Chain A
């Protein structure tokens, strides 16, 4: 099943972000959104996640769907442990298992405020994978990860999202290739 969005318009003051834009996200595939900085990639994701209301447009194909997301800014509870952060959306067993898969076995019970950017990013990915979802939104999810960790993380994401719809925002062509993107939406 695909997810079309019709005649989407969104303005912030005088700045027009989308004007009757049409998008089609392919169900069960990895979709990528590409475009220059400030073009509206994050705004589009925020509309998909119902964090922003479009001025006009038909997004009815998304109604009732469960979303999960990796945000650009981690959005973790800094005083809670990695395990507790993931436990917000799932059980301890499943959450801890995902954290171990992502190479955070030794740090599971440490507060995330003590983590590096790359470690926080992986906790945020573990939380997104642990939550029940129909569509997984990934906004620059591999920022701060070295090549080895990135490879391991992508393998983990693929394992846990077989047959699921992914919407990925990344500037990196290699990341899109590794994530096996089937549908690229270019914002211009």
Chain B
């Protein structure tokens, strides 16, 4: 008989090892840049850091971050709110579930580039990243929250019926604890998608003063240092935003449970 427990070795998180791995790849990058010897093809990590440092002194750099952050975050929040709302409606009504199913599947299967070009026909390039990040996050949020609701313990719901537990308490205890793990993974996935698709939309739509426009300009002028510096900025902003959002959502969930 086979054991159901995994035989895979358990990898412990070792921060020291991670830092060493990062240092190794930076070293590989530095060596590769030295070997190639051409800043247009590959710029060295030191030059990227210097360029980034110079960029941080410019007001336009921070304005571009703010421009993109506000729009991509708006798309994400809108998708989160509507995803949760429609997941609840679909949980309660089979008609709404059936109506939404083909729509969500279609949105999931359409390539993001097609969406960007299509949406550009209807929306100004300034607000394009709101629509695109919304369209990428909504199906993930809706699907995950609905799965969480479907997985809610029937036994606990029966218990709530017997004890006549009010709806507010059911939401903040039984449903919340069932949905939270699914919501958490939707946030992690959705935030990554929102940033990737939002920046892609800005690179295609080129709204003035956005991070995507800066990336596009760097490509046009073959400013590889700028390209790397902006990419590093996008990664840092998106990772920080993701961590902040997950902390915020966990905090809200704990507060709701404590308030019960």
B85 CB-CB contact with A under 8 Å: no
Question: Which chain B positions have C-beta within 8 A of A6?
Answer: none
Binds B, one of A56-64, A76-84, A167-175: A76-84
Pairwise interchain contact B163-A71, C-beta atoms closer than 8 A: no
Contact B177 A77 (CB under 8 A): yes
Q: Contacting A49 at CB < 8 Å: which of B162, B173, B177?
A: B162
Most buried by B among A66, A71, A79: A79
A188 contacts partner chain B, Cβ-Cβ < 8 Å: no
Q: How far is the CB of B131 from chain A (nearest CB, A)?
A: 37
CA of A127 to CA of B162 in the docked complex: distance in angstroms?
Answer: 12
A-B contact count (CB 8 A): 45
Which residues of the partner chain B approach A80 to less than 8 Å between Cβ atoms?
Answer: 173, 177, 257, 260
B155 CB-CB contact with A under 8 Å: yes
Please tell me if the beta carbons of B257 and A75 are within 8 angstroms of each other in the complex: no
Fill in one digit per residue for B151-179: 1 if any A CB lies within 8 Å of its CB, else 0: 00001101111111100010001100100
A84–B165 contact, CB under 8 A? no
| Size of interface on B: residues with Cβ below 8 Å to A | 16
> Assuming A77-B173, A77-B174, A80-B173, is B163 touching A88 (CB within 8 A)?
yes
Give chain B residues whose Cβ lies under 8 Å from the Cβ of A71.
Answer: 155, 159
Answer whether residue A87 sits at the interface, using C-beta atoms and an 8 A cutoff. yes
Evaluate contact between A89 and B165: CB separation under 8 angstroms. Answer: yes
Instruction: List which A66-112 residues lie within 8 A (CB) of chain B.
Output: 66-69, 71, 73, 75, 77-80, 84, 87-89
**Chain B contact surface mostly:** helix
Count A interface residues, CB 8 Å.
20
- Known contacts A68-B163, A79-B177, A88-B169; is A73 also within 8 Å of B257 by CB? no
Q: Please give me the residue from chain B that is nearest to A90 by CB atom.
A: B163
Contact (A87, B260) CB under 8 Å given A73-B155, A77-B173, A77-B174: yes
Return the chain A residue nearest B260 by Cβ. A84
Most chain-A CB neighbours within 10 Å: which of B155, B163, B169, B174?
Answer: B163
A1 close to B (CB within 8 Å): no
Which of B155, B158, B257 is the one whose CB lies under 8 Å from A84?
B257
Q: Out of A69, A79, A87, which one reaches B162, CB within 8 Å? A: A69
Contact of B173 among A68, A84, A131 (CB under 8 A): A84
Given contacts A68-B163, A84-B257, contact A75 B155 (CB under 8 A): yes
- Is B173 in contact with A88, judged by CB distance below 8 angstroms? yes
A20 within 8 A of B: no
Chain A residues within an 8 Å CB radius of B160: 88
A36 close to chain B: CB less than 8 A: no
**How many Å from the CB of A152 to the closest CB on chain B?**
24
Q: How far is the CA of A88 from the CA of B161 in the complex (A)?
A: 12
The answer to whether A50 touches B257 (Cβ under 8 A) is no
Q: Which residue of B lies closest to A137 (CB)?
A: B162
Q: Which residue of B lies closest to A46 (CB)?
A: B158
Q: Which residue of B lies closest to A72 (CB)?
A: B155
C-alpha gap A67/B206 in the complex (Å) = 64
A75 touches B177 (CB 8 A): no
A-B contact pairs, 30 of them (CB 8 A): A49-B162, A50-B162, A51-B158, A51-B161, A51-B162, A66-B164, A68-B162, A68-B163, A69-B159, A69-B163, A71-B155, A71-B159, A73-B155, A75-B155, A77-B156, A77-B177, A78-B177, A79-B177, A79-B257, A80-B177, A84-B173, A84-B257, A87-B260, A88-B160, A88-B163, A88-B169, A88-B173, A89-B163, A89-B165, A127-B163
Q: Contacts A69-B163, A79-B177 given; 10 further ones with Cβ under 8 A?
A: A67-B162, A68-B163, A73-B155, A75-B159, A77-B174, A78-B177, A80-B173, A80-B260, A84-B173, A87-B260
Query: What 6 pairs between A and B have smallest CB-CB spacing?
Result: A75-B159, A79-B177, A89-B163, A75-B155, A49-B162, A77-B173
